[in-house]
Amino acid sequence: MVFSSSCSALKVQGVILEQGKLYGFKQLPVLGGEYEPDNFELTDIEVHFAMLGQMNLQIKDLPDGTKVNFSVTE
C-alpha cells in the first residue's frame, strides 16, 4: 500500500510513467532509502535492473547494519 500511495503522489507531482521507464528508488530501501515519493524518480527499466542486480550481488552476503560505499562510474 505504501508504494501505491507513493505512485499516486508522484502522478500528482507530474511525474508520469513513460514507455520503457519505471519509478525507481534514488536510494534503495536495503541501503536506508524510504518508501516516500521524494525517494523515487523515473528510471530507464534496463538501467534500473542492471544496476540493481550489480548492487544486490555485492551486498547479498553482508550482515544487516553493515556500512557500505558505492562508487558510480561511467
| Residues forming a β-bridge with 23 | 42
Nine-digit cell at 64? 544487516
φ/ψ of residue 15, rounded to 5: -90, 95
Q: What is the pTM of this model?
A: 0.72
Domain ranges of the chain: 2-59
- The pLDDT tens digits along the chain (74 residues) read 566 677 788 878 888 888 999 999 998 888 888 988 889 999 999 999 998 888 888 888 999 888 888 776 76
